[in-house]
Amino acid sequence: MSKTAPATPAAISREGTVAIVASRYNARFTDALVESASATLARIAPGLGVRVVRVPGAFEIPLVAEALACAEPQPLAILALGVIIRGSTAHADLIAESITRSLQDTGVSHLVPVIHEVLLVASAEQAEARTLGEELDRGREAAEAAVAMIEVMASLD
């Protein structure tokens, strides 16, 4: 696991909306991702509106991401936020693989950046380190990636 994130992108003045689709499951961790991503977006992209849609679990995130990608107006980026903690069966891995494939398909087919921060971790301690810890902040990193990709996509027009 890399602990070196890319540099924070420069603040942008672009207008539009960023959608955050977040699981309610493992709420302590997912709420922290949403709060951090929202605060980061407010700081580095103050002109962007943020729409948060909560879904029951991580498996439901891709469906709502797809619906948002089809909406008019389309968001400039979609952040997928959730935490899956592995158990003793393969269930978590199957869910995570399905989510990854679906989110990538949505981004590619609709040409909208879909930032995948549905974390698959081995323990609550790992989830805490990535969502509540000082060293890693995957919510902030998701927001920064979204802003960077908004700029990349705008440069392609």
Query: Annotated catalytic sites, by residue?
Result: 91
Surface-to-core class of residue 65, CB atoms within 10 Å of its CB (0-12 exposed, 13-18 middle, 19+ buried)? buried
Residue 24 makes CB contacts below 8 A (sequence gap 6+) with 30, 54, 55, 56, 57
